[in-house]
Every structure is written in C-alpha cells, then in structure tokens.
Amino acid sequence: MRQETVENYLKTIYNLSSNNSTVVVNQQLANKLEISPASVTEGLRKLHELKYVVYEKSYGTRLTSAGAKLALSIVRRHRIWETYLAKELGFGWDEVHEIAEELEHIKNDKLINKLSAILGNPMFDPHGDPIPDAKGKIKKSNFIKLSEAKVKGNYSLMGVTDHSAAFLKYLEKHQLIIGANIDIKGIEEFDNTIVLICNKKEVTISAKAAECIIVETV
C-alpha cells in the first residue's frame, strides 16, 4: 500500500471517528473515500497488519496509538496548509481544501512548523477546525452545532463540518463566515428550520445545513 494511500485512510478514519472516540464502519469509509466496500476491507486488513488500526469486520475500525499519532500529524499538515493558503496566498475558504489534500503528503515537520510559526501558530484553520500542535495536542472547546442552539441565543460562527465548495459559497452568500454574529430568532417545530439574524439580515437555515455549522455561545 502506497504511503499516500495509508495517510488518506488514517486521516479519514480519524475524522469520521470524532477524534478517535467512536468506531468507524466500512460503509462510512467507502462513502468518504469514494471506493467500493470490498476495496476498503482489503485496505483495512493491510493497515491492521501495519498495526495502524484494529479492524474487525463485524465491529468496525479504530486507530491504534501509532495510527492516531500518524493521523494527527497528517491532519496538522492539512489544516496548516489550508490556513497558509487562505491567509498568506489569498485563496478562498472554498478553494483551500482540495489544494491542501495534495500538499498534506509532503512529510517535512520542519517546513510545517515554520509555516505554523509564520502564521502565529494558529489553533484553528479557515473552516474552524482545530489544528493539532506539534505534539498532537488539540485545544478543547465548548463549540456546539447550530442545530443544538437555543432560541433567543446569541452565538458566534466558529466552523463548519461540510467543506464542499457549494456549501461554503452558500454560507458566504448569507455572510455566514467564521466569526459572524448570529442571533436565533426562531426554530420551526415541524422541520427544525432555523430563522436567524446575521449582520442585521434575516436568514432561514435548513436543519441539514444547521447540522454542519459550528457555533459558540457569546
């Protein structure tokens, strides 16, 4: 198995497992990696042999300590590249993910640490995702999904879990960017649609979109 493939598997397992706190099933991996379940099974068997994952077909997959350590280093590279592309090179937050997918495989800790220092050692990337430090530690937060927010609450938009260009452009159209102030005006009982105020404008957000927006109480 190529090293790039190994890294893609480990990073994806880490992201799907909520920071390695839950088990990942094959179908989740197949959907995310856009490959067949049979290919995923074969890949996981090889990763199991390399001692990067614990894999049981009827149970699922979790990262070993060695797998988690490597996954965190890849996540760090990816998110620092995203931040550098956005802050230093002017790429939009809807553009940086795909470019960072390629750059993350440059395995040079000195380079990544220098990029981080240039950026002021940021704790979050342009999408609000936490950036592991050089030791793999991640800052804890009190962030919640917008779908969990309360009516009449005041929140700050801290991140998104959907990095697709279509979703990010949709948010930008409504000025829902990182740091935006959000007031919850109401929540429809029928379908959990959220009506909010952002920059003095009323915006209606679907329950599906609200699941992908991360906020913090102000």
Residue 140 is predicted with a pLDDT of: 83
The CATH number given to 3-63 is 1.10.10.10
Residue 124 is predicted with a pLDDT of: 94
Residue 141 is predicted with a pLDDT of: 85
Kindly give, in sequence order, each residue whose CB lies less than 8 Å from that of residue 25, ignoring residues fewer than 6 positions away.
Answer: 60, 61
Model confidence at 19: pLDDT above 80: no
Residue 118 is predicted with a pLDDT of: 97
Mean per-residue pLDDT over the chain, rounded: 94
CA distances from 189 to 18, 161, 186, 194 (A): 28, 24, 9, 10
Write out pLDDT tens, residues 54-86.
Answer: 998 888 999 999 999 999 999 999 999 999 999
* CATH number of 144-217, picked from 3.40.50.1470, 3.40.50.720, 2.30.30.90, 3.40.50.1100: 2.30.30.90
Phi, psi of 95 (to 5 degrees): -110, -25
Collapsing DSSP to helix, strand or coil, 150 comes out as coil
pTM here?
A: 0.87
Domain ranges of the chain: 3-63, 144-217
The residue count for the chain:
218
Burial of residue 133 (CB within 10 Å: 0-12, 13-18, 19+) is middle
Write out pLDDT tens, residues 22-56.
Answer: 899 999 999 999 999 999 999 999 999 999 999 98
Residue 38 is predicted with a pLDDT of: 94
Write out pLDDT tens, residues 132-176.
Answer: 999 999 988 889 999 999 998 899 999 999 999 999 999 999 999
